Amino acid sequence: MRSEFDFIQNIKTKYALTRVGDDCAVLPKDSRTDLVVTADMLVEDIDFRCGWTTGKFLGQKALAVSLSDIAAMGAEPRWAMLSIAVPKRLWDTDFPKEFFDGYYRLSTKYKVEIVGGDVSRSPDKFVIDSIVAGEVFKGKAALRSGAKPGDGIYVSGPLGGAAAGLAMLERGERYSASLPGWKKTLLLKQLAPLPSSLGAELRKLGASSMIDLSDGLSSDLAHICNASGVGARLDANLIPIHREIDGLNLTSHEKFDLALNGGEDFELLFTVDEKKISPKKLGKFFRIGDVTANIDIIELIDGKRLQILQPKGYRHF
């Protein structure tokens, strides 16, 4: 079946949409600054379930996914526009008000001004469209296309927590303040994530390419490889797995799969020429592999075993 990525690539090629392909569009703003803009759509029963979350949690997540895109460009977020389509069954409740409260609270935390949007009625599902714009120094936006053979591959934090939270929701777990701390942590990673704020720092450090981890490590690394015309070699033993996953009754393989393919962690995946940066400056990040010259080939090394990795992760189609 054709994926959404195939569809986007086809229209990008057919209509020569040269600005399409990164987490944000990069547009000229003035002599010193570029504007980066992202748009994210969330649809009920596809991207979230109202019965699993709260209005405030969902509002926070709706903005977080867009802020994560801005961070992946090495930019600072500045403005947001929010549009929603609400079914009558929710319009007559506090859900829309709580949703906006969650969106607004996160906007104040990240110093983002809400400058507009729209409200409409939906026949049956809640639909969200979040647009966020930010700023970056002219010509300095971090793109997916800058990775070079020999670069190190890093992630900004542990992985798999959001996917573990989703698995808990799917088996009937619901968030409650009375839950053990580890359960609350995993559920909130899925329901009300906080995006990384390290994008601008990584750009200044010299990240050669960057992407946010929304679809999953294997899938998002494939996007960098495709855009940069390179391959990658990952060390399975170096991929950081969220420690709270240990609370679940999972095998080592299942835990690793959550980190590799789970998605929605909203950490940053980046590459860097380590010859140009002091190792001390990279100390708080997780080195997981190397960029290679084998175009679009991702190798996974697990001890003495090497396999060619097939990108997985979330797909709408």
* 153 & 224 share domain: yes
Predicted pLDDT of residue 284? 95
Give mean pLDDT, residues 35-53. Answer: 98
The residues near 215 (Cβ < 8 Å, ≥ 6 apart) are: 223, 263, 313, 314, 315
When pLDDT is cut at 50, 70 and 90, the band that residue 210 belongs to is very high
Predicted pLDDT of residue 56? 98
* Boundary residue ending a domain (103, 137, 171): 137
| Cβ atoms of residues 254 and 246 within 8 Å | no
* 128 & 169 share domain: no
Backbone dihedral angles phi then psi of residue 207, each to the nearest 5 degrees: -55, 130
The sign one gets for the Cα dihedral 112, 190, 23, 273 is positive
Of 170, 125, 131, the residue nearest 262 (C-alpha)? 170
Give mean pLDDT, residues 194-208. Answer: 97
* 154 & 131 share domain: no
pLDDT of 314 over the 80 cut: no
pLDDT of 9 over the 90 cut: no
In a domain, 239, yes or no: yes
In a domain, 313, yes or no: no
Predicted pLDDT of residue 88? 97
Predicted pLDDT of residue 5? 77
Read off the pLDDT of residues 55-95 as tens digits, 9 standing for 90 and up.
Answer: 999 999 999 999 999 999 999 999 999 999 999 999 999 99
Predicted pLDDT of residue 2? 74
pLDDT of 183 over the 90 cut: yes
Verdict on whether the full-model pTM lies above 0.75: yes
Read off the pLDDT of residues 261-276 as tens digits, 9 standing for 90 and up.
Answer: 999 999 999 999 999 9
| Cβ atoms of residues 242 and 235 within 8 Å | no
Could you give the percent of the chain with pLDDT greater than 70?
A: 99
* 200 & 266 share domain: yes
Of 118, 125, 242, the residue nearest 189 (C-alpha)? 242
Could you give the percent of the chain with pLDDT greater than 90?
A: 90
Domains in the chain, number: 2
Read off the pLDDT of residues 104-126 as tens digits, 9 standing for 90 and up.
Answer: 999 999 999 999 999 999 999 99
* 247 & 175 share domain: yes
In a domain, 316, yes or no: no
* 48 & 150 share domain: no
Q: β-strand 298-302 against 231-235: which pairing, if any?
A: parallel
* Boundary residue ending a domain (79, 114, 137): 137
Predicted pLDDT of residue 17? 83
| Cβ atoms of residues 69 and 132 within 8 Å | yes
When pLDDT is cut at 50, 70 and 90, the band that residue 309 belongs to is very high
CATH code, domain with 193: 3.90.650.10
* 209 & 61 share domain: no
In a domain, 317, yes or no: no
* Boundary residue ending a domain (99, 120, 137): 137
* 124 & 229 share domain: no
* 112 & 192 share domain: no
* 206 & 99 share domain: no
Q: Which residues of 259-295 are buried (b: 16+ CB within 10 A; e: fewer)?
A: bbbbbbbbbbbbbbbbeeeeeeebeebbbbbbbbeee
pLDDT of 18 over the 90 cut: no
CATH code, domain with 101: 3.30.1330.10
* 222 & 100 share domain: no
Read off the pLDDT of residues 151-167 as tens digits, 9 standing for 90 and up.
Answer: 999 999 999 999 999 99
Read off the pLDDT of residues 275-293 as tens digits, 9 standing for 90 and up.
Answer: 999 889 999 999 999 999 9
In a domain, 87, yes or no: yes
Its domain, for residue 265, covers 144-308
Predicted pLDDT of residue 289? 98
In a domain, 124, yes or no: yes
Predicted pLDDT of residue 21? 76
Predicted pLDDT of residue 316? 73
In a domain, 314, yes or no: no
* 157 & 280 share domain: yes
In a domain, 315, yes or no: no
Read off the pLDDT of residues 130-149 as tens digits, 9 standing for 90 and up.
Answer: 999 999 999 999 999 999 99
Predicted pLDDT of residue 55? 98
